[in-house]
Amino acid sequence: MPDLLLNHLKKHIQLTETEEHLILSSIQMRRFKRGDFLTKEGEVNRYTNFIVTGSAKVYYIDQQGQEHIIQLGIKEWWIGDFSSFITQTKGILYTEALTVTETASFSYDILQELYNKVPALERFFRLLTQKAYAAFHRRVLESLSMDAEQRYIAFRTSYPEMDQQLSQKDIAAYLGISAEFLSKIKKRIVEKQKTEYNR
């Protein structure tokens, strides 16, 4: 299973055989049951996690007890409270397994050591951070400029695997709407498609 992470890295950076062995020996495999927390609010996130199997979500709970999903992740996605990990300070987010989930993880200390031994790995994580920042900007713009149906269509277009694998409840929470409203949106889209087809 660590090979899945190594193959993922090699899609983006070049590694020598020695560097590959260093990375493989540094990976920690972690397993979580559905509902287990990878990290909670008030904890320091010590690991950056690559999902090997399963799915997870990162969310914030407001003062009214309302859950706001910041990130969803499935196989071959990185998941976790990245701000807490980068700064090694207490986080305000929860990271929870949605299904039985296995991750290939690097601890913060091990990753800092790897940066010195495998310079390309630091470049990979810099690119990952840049992509995450760009995705965050896109999501903010979508929330400001799109209605709920448009946001769902954008989500489905960008993340078709998530749309198929994750529950309607979690997708709705990510979009900032109720599961019932998302169901209505899906029905409306199907009806529009039928109308287009019958023209």
Instruction: Please give the Cα distance from 141 to 114 (Å, whole number).
Output: 36
Q: Is the pTM of this model over 0.85?
A: yes
Q: How is 158-172 classified by DSSP, letter by letter?
A: H-HHHHHHS-HHHHH
* 8 A C-beta contact, residue 76 and residue 8: yes
Mean pLDDT of the chain: 94
Instruction: Please give the Cα distance from 33 to 18 (Å, whole number).
Output: 34
User: Mean pLDDT, to the nearest integer, of 131-135?
Assistant: 90
* Sign of the alpha-carbon dihedral angle for 150, 154, 159, 164: positive
Read off the pLDDT of residues 183-192 as tens digits, 9 standing for 90 and up.
999 999 988 8
pLDDT of residue 199: 62
Phi, psi of 54 (to 5 degrees): 95, -160
Task: Name the pLDDT band for 193 (thresholds 50, 70, 90).
Answer: confident
Strand pairing partners for 95?
A: 39, 58
∠131-121-41 over CA atoms, to 5°? Answer: 60
Instruction: Please give the Cα distance from 54 to 73 (Å, whole number).
Output: 9
- What fold characterizes domain 2-133? Jelly Rolls (2.60.120)
Q: Give the E-state strand segments of 62-161 in sequence order.
A: 67-73, 78-79, 94-97, 101-107
Strand pairing partners for 96?
A: 37, 57
Find tokens 């269509």 and name the residue.
Answer: 153
